[in-house]
Structure 1
Amino acid sequence: MVKQNKLLIFILTIGVFGIINTEMGVIGILPTLAEHFGVSISKAGLLVSLFALVIAVSGPTMPLFFAGIDRKKVMLLVLGIFVLGSVVSIFTTNFTVALLARIVPAFFHPIYCSLAFSVAAASVSKAEAPKAVSKVFIGVSAGMVVGVPIASFLANTASLQMAMAFFALINIIAFIATMIYIPSMPVKEKLSYGSQLSVLKKLITWQSIVAVIFLNSAVFGVYSYLAEYLKTVTAMSSNSITIMLVVFGGANIIGNIVAGKLLTNNAAKSVMVFPFALVAVYIALFLFGQFSIPVAVITLVWGILAGIGGNINQYWIMSSAPEAPDFANGLFISSCNVGTTIGTAAGGLFISGIGTEYVIFVGILSLILGLISIIVRNYSKQSQTKPLAS
């Protein structure tokens, strides 16, 4: 049974990696995609921002619609749709078709991620559940940071089609492994979501959502255009850009490890300090963005802070609604993707309007708004159980 549970969690981790990798992997090849489809870099950014927007909309709702269906069948459905979307992306030369091939799978993205966390937790004892879920989160982190440099490397050394094929391959592996090794998992009891939805009546929930939107916008409003920034402002070669993306990815994983200790020892202080630390990094990047060595050091620190930020976002929403962890997880996914959508869209506007180097100010402005949201939430913490309306 123990071996079976380990295999189940490993397959879920691969599945989550494949899905997050499909979402975030295009960040490293946005300039190449823009050139391939003959569109501007800001328009190519829609491949990131619209994907995130769809997830933001479907995050709290889609998992509810599929809650009563055999979990294995749902996982196969989602992975199959992601495979199909990736295959279409390999062969299409039409930007609109490519956009649709990403938007359709995006609706199903929250279903698999939410399901992966709940299945992992249910596969072990209650005491071991956090460890099981944390292992699946490795797939989330890897999908966000490892897929970007791999896709960039494949696009630069082989072809854009090979980079897109990489997305398809991971999802195919997860699909086959799920089909062969994961047993049927019929839902024995469909849970009522009435009590979970009630957390939306709490003011602190909405304050947390707003803060997370701005904090995620601060990271991905800039990071989504990192490859373009390094190419245009720092004048790095394609291979050097790939190395920088690897540095950011590795640093992000370090940040995840550091965040666990920070949030355990002093969560409130860590949340308050984070915006100040990231603003300092962005100011340094704006001042020294033309110099390769300082940019490399800044990227390392930035990557660590981005990893910490992801954990802070999850903690901030989960701590506002601990009585409804499943629904809170859906809100976390949605809030992060709303932030990604806003940040990426704003970044594209700044780049097309005043220049690539000024995309940094999207991050700084988002952090200021995020800090204000954090302060407001802290001051009104006493109203955590007070409903918006009686």
Structure 2
Amino acid sequence: MPIGLIALALGGFGIGLTEFVIMGLLPEVAADFRVSEASAGWLISGYALAVVLGALGLTAAVTRFERKPVLAVLLVLFIAGNLISAAAPDYWIMMAGRVVAALSHGAFFGIGAVVAADMVAPTKKAGAIAIMFTGLTAANVLGVPFGTMLGQAAGWRSTFWAITGIGVLALAGILALVPKTGHGGTSPGGLRSELRAFRSGQVWLSILVTILGYGGMFGAFTYIAFTLTEVSGFAAFTVPWLLIVFGVGLFIGNALGGRAADRNVDRTLLVVLSVLVAVLVAFALTAGNQLLTIASMVLMGGFGFATVPGLQMRVMKYADGAPTLASGANIGAFNVGNALGAWLGGVTITAGLGYTSPIWAGAGITLLGLGVMAFAAAKAHAPTNAPAPTNAPADSVGSATNAPADSVGSATNAPAASVIR
């Protein structure tokens, strides 16, 4: 295994920690800046929206540059943002720091995945990408709970100082250990070629499923500290341990969801989203029971993150020939979902609906995602009237639509924009 993958994973760990650790510290941050719970939640929503801008804007802007220095610059941006957050004297400076750090998020994972794949043999590319994304998983399983503990023991700012240090270590690792070019056999093809992926209707449907399917779980999770302390009756010091429970579910769900998606991505997403809706409804109904709350935390983490591999795979499947920008766009979609869920959860709390209302809102959003997924799957597998080409192998990429051949009806003579496939 190339040691440069560890540097990429460390960068992913720091970025994942920045995104998620504030959830466990939201009460402390709100009290320090003397803002409402909903206003504090905007530190999460603002980060998520800035990720979208970075995932699309920055990735598009740097497709023609050498990838290693781009990754280094993105980590410098990440370090600067967390430095601002750690030293922020007021709420709006804190928001600015969150935005600066978030701009690096989507581009780092989108470009880093391509670099990771180019560091190994063709038969090991998926494993290399998985190692990089292990950093993001570890951030949720270990980083968030222990970051929350640190913030509660030494002040929430100490957590952001620690994340800044992780960013410095990751930058040093990228500079020392990642290959000089990072291009391998897949050098950037330019913005125009990357944009071709978005002619596929299935790419857009997949992105919408990502926004709704992941956003529902995230909306329920955003205000989880308030739910646990105000509804379930847990003491504040137990919140980090409960986040570890959530992280265990996340780790298991992410692994099993990836294996299932390798066999049948659409069926996996339909089943997992269906169960996730049921889990969120059950959690909202039983949040006053501590034992059932713990069970719900495990299941919410497991089924919530079991969607992630499949959602990413589905976009890549239909984004033929444009891995970098399509990958970055879907990471942006995850964070649009984050912002949507956090915003809607804040709205329900502000409306006086209680601290279980974000969970109900999350169930509703996820149900919408399930509906879109069912529509997308039906369209992908619906037969077409056009005959399949006789001069191409059955598993080839067919037609002017650039749709993958394993979506039934691989080729038509219609313009790509007119067919949702």
TM over 0.5: yes
Q: Does 178-187 or 74-83 show the bigger shift?
A: 178-187
CA distance in 2, matches of 1:80, 1:326: 21
SS in 2 for 1:6: coil
CA distance in 2, matches of 1:167, 1:97: 17
CA distance in 2, matches of 1:151, 1:86: 14
CA distance in 1, matches of 2:122, 2:359: 43
CA distance in 2, matches of 1:236, 1:219: 21
State how 1:370-385 maps to structure 2 within 5 Å.
Answer: 370-381=369-380, 382=382, 385=403
Which residue is 1:22 aligned to? Answer: 18
Pick aligned residue for 1:54 from 50, 61, 78: 50
State how 1:165-176 maps to structure 2 within 5 Å.
Answer: 165-176=161-172
SS in 2 for 1:356: coil
State how 1:110-259 maps to structure 2 within 5 Å.
Answer: 110-185=106-181, 190-259=188-257
SS in 2 for 1:39: coil
What is the deviation of 1:225?
Answer: 1.1
CA distance in 1, matches of 2:271, 2:418: 33
CA distance in 1, matches of 2:294, 2:375: 35
| 1:32 paired to 2:28 | yes
Which residue identity lines up with residue 174 of structure 1 in the other structure? A
Which residue identity lines up with residue 306 of structure 1 in the other structure? G
What is the deviation of 1:186?
Answer: 7.2
Which residue is 1:341 aligned to? Answer: 339
What is the deviation of 1:247?
Answer: 0.6
Which residue is 1:361 aligned to? Answer: 360
CA distance in 2, matches of 1:154, 1:88: 19
Q: Does 170-179 or 128-137 show the bigger shift?
A: 170-179
CA distance in 2, matches of 1:305, 1:367: 12
**RCO (CA 8 Å, sep 6+): is it higher in 1 or 2?**
1
SS in 1 for 2:189: coil
What is the deviation of 1:187?
Answer: 6.0
Length-normalised TM-score, structure 1: 0.93
Which residue identity lines up with residue 195 of structure 2 in the other structure? L
Q: Does 186-195 or 5-14 show the bigger shift?
A: 186-195
For the Cα contact (< 8 Å) 1:69–1:187, is it kept in 2?
no
In structure 2, relative to structure 1, the CA distance for the partners of 1:69 and 1:324 (3 Å cut) is closer
SS in 2 for 1:388: helix
What is the deviation of 1:190?
Answer: 4.2
- Percentage identity across aligned positions? 25
CA distance in 2, matches of 1:288, 1:52: 29
CA distance in 1, matches of 2:56, 2:104: 11
For the Cα contact (< 8 Å) 1:201–1:389, is it kept in 2?
no
For the Cα contact (< 8 Å) 2:225–2:239, is it kept in 1?
yes
Q: Which has the larger radius of gyration?
A: 2
What is the deviation of 1:78?
Answer: 1.7
CA distance in 2, matches of 1:149, 1:305: 19
CA distance in 2, matches of 1:110, 1:185: 20
For the Cα contact (< 8 Å) 2:213–2:366, is it kept in 1?
yes
Q: Does 110-119 or 174-183 show the bigger shift?
A: 174-183
Which residue identity lines up with residue 162 of structure 1 in the other structure? S
Higher helix share: 1
Root mean square deviation of aligned Cα:
2.0
SS in 2 for 1:124: coil
What is the deviation of 1:170?
Answer: 1.1
CA distance in 2, matches of 1:111, 1:264: 25
How many matched pairs? 386
CA distance in 2, matches of 1:187, 1:324: 15
For the Cα contact (< 8 Å) 2:56–2:107, is it kept in 1?
no
Which residue identity lines up with residue 85 of structure 2 in the other structure? S
For the Cα contact (< 8 Å) 2:24–2:144, is it kept in 1?
yes
What is the deviation of 1:337?
Answer: 0.9
Please list the CA deviations of residues 235-278 of structure 1 after superposition, one character each: whole Å capped at 9, or x if unmatched. 21122211110110121011111112211334332211122211
